[in-house]
Amino acid sequence: MIGRILKKDMKRRKSINLILFLFITIATIFLSSSVGNILVASSAQNFYLDYAKIPQINIITSGTEEKADIERWLKKDAPGVKTYGYDHILVLPEKGVDLSQNNKKKAFDANGASIYLSAKTEPYCKVFDKDGKDFDLGEGDIALAQVTMDRNDLQTGDQVTIKVGDMEKTFTIKLAIKDAAFGSDMAGMCRLVVSSAEYARFAANDKADLLGMHYVDTDDEERFNQELNNHGFTTLSSTIDKNTYKMAYSFDMLTVALLILIGICLILIALLVLRFTLVFTIEEDYREIGIMKAVGIKSFAIKKVYLAKYLILVTAGALCGLAVSIPVSRVMLSSVSKNLILENSDSKFWVNSLCALLIILLVMGFSYGCMHKLNKVSAITAIHGGQTGERYGKRAGFRLYRRKRMPVTAFLGVNDIFSHVKRYLVLMITFCISFILITIPLNTINTMQSDEMARQFCVNPDTAVCAREIEGSGKGTYKTSVELEKDMDRVTDELKAKGYEAELTGVAIYFFQYKEPRRDDNTNVMTTQILGSDQNFLRYQEGDAPVLENEIAFSQQILEENGWKIGDSVETQIGGKEKRMIITGTYSDYMQLGKSARLNPKVDCSKASLFDYWNIMVKMDTNLTQKQLAEKLEKELPDYEWATAQDVVDRNTGGIQQSLEDMIVPMTAVLLSVIMLITFLMERLFVVREKGEIAMMKSMGFQNKDIRMWQTLRMVLVALLSMLAAVPLSLLSNQFVLKPIFSAMGANVEIQVVPLQVYGICPAVLLLGIIIATMLASINVKKINIRELNNLE
């Protein structure tokens, strides 16, 4: 009997059962893929860094002169050292690298990063092929990170020429690699890998600029750093801990975080709709339930009929969703696996299977919960559609006589919503979540394209244009700020010769050690100093910019870690001279992942060792946009790479903005499809449930188009109310979802919103989809005739 009832029910409700099956499949796909991705992505950074043997602390020294002294200290006196290793890398100027593709030469684009030449390091800071496997390099072979190859449009077989002093050699690209230590754009480093023999020949050159790398694993990282800073090694440039390496991949994880958030929200939508559909279909069968009760069938036997039906649908949908979730998981993680080595997501198949089982249990639990009240429903009540015919409470809604000028169809739609709020609540929540899901990536993109984001990377967004690699041909890296300023003056003269009255501003980067007066605990901090006239574009959260020779500002993270505050004094040594400075302000930015200092421009750093310099900003009067001026100067002065402020931001965020832009259209299409499917399902269910009311309207003279207009206006009103509710929720998501993600990367950023785009265009697209779906679903109205009045209570 149960089989016959199920077969008849499946045939009678083909469309509703199909849509229910699709939503169960969608729920399984997103739940399985999202949970699996959460497990993989949440451990991605740790897994990658452990897989590549990134040390807890990497000590970087200028040159190799103190190698023996540092190793002696590590072996005897350094606290908590478990293991350590040593290697060195060779610093290359960007003009020391040339590319050749199809017998055509072109400049190498390092994306503003420092370039290094290295052998294939072992056992620390290892590199792998794009599949995460080991590889070998022979004589004449070279390997580059995949992101570097993509940026320069390189393929295996293309050629790279390396120049160090009077030594030059051309290599052939053998493969693309993944490099945990140097492979992130935000790390500001780019490594070219050759064989050990080839590297040894370059490193032996008299003009080779080497950096020593001491890799240390320690039990007491904090104490080790303190002892290292206090020891006073003169060639110590900086120390990088494992957490800093992890933070360098923060922007890569942004896409993962957004995809996981989208998956979770879509799961919520699917489950809401599933529950609504289950309740709706059971209520529709009240008369059949009443007849079965009247002939003596027990409540449990009736429940078995529905449980069997939904078990078939849920199991079929869950199995289909499980199969599809595997490729979906891979697609969702593809943007992350481009820069990271991930655990094999196929090994998480048990998670996908568990999620599919959870969906089955969850839906069956919903089904059983919805049928629980059948125990208390009598046969007569069930035959009456679950109604007793009595209403003890005042019915909410509008009064027609008070809305004389409102069109009848509009009145009916408004009255339906206010009379049955619970019935439309699921739709409102679904529309609301969908709207918020679209605004999150849009607001992320708008933030990354904002002026504030440029300032977070120490770039003036109002500069006329930016330049980098201003070293003359054949020159190595700058050793002091004097050399940098000299070449800034040279570029100024070259611009003047082309008819441009320009002023250049650069940002010099040093590593200085700071300590409180009368204490020996030193803190090694990346320190920036503005060289040039444009000195007032940076912002401060508290206090003021340092302007006097004895003033300095620290990032908020440095102050918190050391317990310093504005007004305190710190001591440092610059160019061999002791200096005491007052902390005048604090800020947050992405320089050194939020841990830096800003030195006042009046301090003489001419004898201090320059670690690097930031992009050069050009100030001039021009009517051209940054992009137009950059393109023009690229032709007139091709020796330097000219860029906009936004280009600088893009270089340091690993192309995440482009990934998000590529994701907007397909994600909007998916959400629109889901919304239209939900709307179509709901409208079909409404039409089935309201057959009696529609028949009565037809008997009173209402035409099909008027009834369809009523149905459409009702859905439009639900959508508009949902979007109005979504606006404050969207602002809250900016504050409590997006802002913490940006803050975790090192800086406090105000999320930027473009009202027309977020609150105009996107809602209009969703609203159009809702209208189309409603009109398609309400076509069945014309099949209802006045005989359905017999079904009206």
pLDDT in tens, 691-723: 878 888 888 888 888 888 988 999 999 999 998
Given the structure tokens 């809604």, which residue do they identify? 397
The whole-number pLDDT of residue 64 equals 87
Angle at 97 between CA 95 and CA 103, to 5 degrees: 115
Q: What is the pLDDT of residues 400-441, one digit of tens each?
A: 556 667 777 787 888 788 877 877 887 888 888 888 888 888
CA gap 494, 286 in Å, rounded? 87
At residue 566, what is the residue type? I
Res 402: pLDDT: 62
Task: Please state the rounded mean pLDDT for residues 625-640.
Answer: 90
Q: What is the C-alpha to C-alpha distance for residues 193 and 213, in angstroms, rounded to an integer?
A: 16
Residue 740: which pLDDT band, with cuts at 50, 70 and 90? confident
Name the β-bridge partners of 643.
466
Note the pLDDT tens digit of each residue in 163-203. Answer: 888 888 999 999 998 888 887 766 667 889 999 999 999 99
Continuous H helices in 457-587: 481-497, 556-562
Q: Strand 523-531 relative to strand 596-599: parallel, antiparallel, unpaired?
A: parallel
Above 60 in pLDDT, residue 386? no
Q: Residue 111 in contact with residue 157, Cβ under 8 Å? A: no
Q: Strands, DSSP E only, in 545-656?
A: 551-555, 569-574, 577-587, 596-599, 612-613, 616-619, 641-643
Q: Name the residue type at position 160.
A: V
For the cut 60, the answer to whether the pLDDT of residue 396 exceeds it is no
Q: Give me the residue spans of the domains in the chain.
A: 1-40+268-386, 64-234, 409-456+652-793, 465-621
Q: Which two tokens stand for residue 492?
A: 């100024």
3-state secondary structure of 395: coil
Q: Which parts of 372-517 fold into alpha helices (H)? A: 379-383, 408-419, 421-448, 451-456, 481-497
Cis peptide before 755 (omega within 30 of 0): no
Q: Which amino acid is at 626?
A: Q
Give CA 130 to chain center in angstroms: 22
Bigger pLDDT: 47 vs 2: 47
Q: Where does residue 432 rank: exposed (0-12), middle (13-18), buried (19+ CB within 10 A)?
A: buried
Three-state helix/strand/coil letters over 368-397: HHHHHHHHHCCHHHHHCCCCCCCCCCCCCC
Task: State the Cα–Cα distance between residues 121 and 299, nearest whole angstrom.
Answer: 72
Q: Alpha-carbon distance 217 to 83, whole Å?
A: 5
Q: Identify any residues that bridge with 172 across adjacent strands, giving them in sequence order.
A: 141, 159
Distances (CA, A) of 292 to 5, 252, 257, 644: 12, 59, 51, 75
- Residue 527 confidence class, pLDDT cut points 50, 70, 90: very high
Q: Which residues pair with 162 in a beta bridge?
A: 97, 169
Mean pLDDT of 271-297: 72
What share of the chain has pLDDT > 90, as a percent?
A: 21
Name the pTM for this structure: 0.73
In this structure, is the dihedral angle defined by the CA atoms of residues 330, 331, 336 and 341, taken in order, positive or negative? positive
pLDDT mean over 207-227: 88
The per-residue pLDDT for 232 is 75
According to the model, what pLDDT value does residue 338 have? 62
Q: Is the pLDDT of residue 41 over 80?
A: no
Number of residues written out for the chain:
793
To the nearest 10 degrees (0 to 180), the angle between helices 645-652 and 656-689 is: 80
Q: Which residues of 749-788 are buried (b: 16+ CB within 10 A; e: fewer)?
A: bebbbeeeebbeebbebbbebbbebbbebbebbeebeeeb
Residue whose structure tokens are 């492979």: 183
Q: Crossing angle for the helix pair 762-777 and 656-689, nearest 10 degrees?
A: 30
pLDDT digits (tens, 9 = 90+) for 200-215: 999 988 888 889 999 9
pLDDT-derived band at 585 (thresholds 50, 70, 90) equals very high
